[in-house]
């Protein structure tokens, strides 16, 4: 699980889920705002999005799966991935978008 950049406090899974939905959250220990680091957010998104794209491509091409099957795979895959993503996030004390610090 991720650690605060200011005080090295280990965050809980629930705190990380709140952070992933809100975009920023105060550290429960030092009360400084923390953000998902840009690099870890991008890599985590790619890590979990690409297998879905390859799986659906495989199902459509080689298994002749219909759209109903693809939608069912999506409805199972996305909640599972949403539950796992907080384990892969890293925290940052500054919010950056496209490499630039946002105030």
Domain extent at residue 25: 13-102
> Within a domain: residue 8?
no
> Within a domain: residue 55?
yes
pLDDT reading at 103 higher than 70: no
> Within a domain: residue 31?
yes
Q: Please state the rounded mean pLDDT for residues 51-75.
A: 84
Q: Tens digits of per-residue pLDDT, 26-60?
A: 888 888 988 888 787 788 888 888 888 888 888 88
Count of domains observed in the chain: 1
DSSP calls for the chain? --B-TTT-PBPPHHHHHHHHHHSEEE-TTT--EEEE-HHHHHHHHHHHHHHHHHHHHHHHHHS---HHHHHHHHHHHHHHHHHHGGGT--EESSEEETTEEE-
């Amino acid at each position: 699980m991720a650690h605060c950049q200011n005080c090295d406090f280990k965050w809980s899974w629930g705190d990380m889920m709140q952070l992933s939905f809100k975009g920023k959250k105060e550290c429960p220990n030092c009360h400084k705002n923390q953000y998902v680091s840009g690099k870890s957010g991008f890599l985590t998104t790619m890590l979990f999005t690409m297998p879905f794209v390859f799986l659906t491509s495989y199902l459509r091409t080689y298994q002749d799966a219909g759209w109903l099957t693809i939608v069912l795979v999506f409805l199972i895959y996305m909640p599972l991935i949403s539950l796992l993503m907080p384990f892969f996030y890293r925290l940052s004390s500054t919010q950056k978008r496209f490499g630039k610090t946002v105030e």
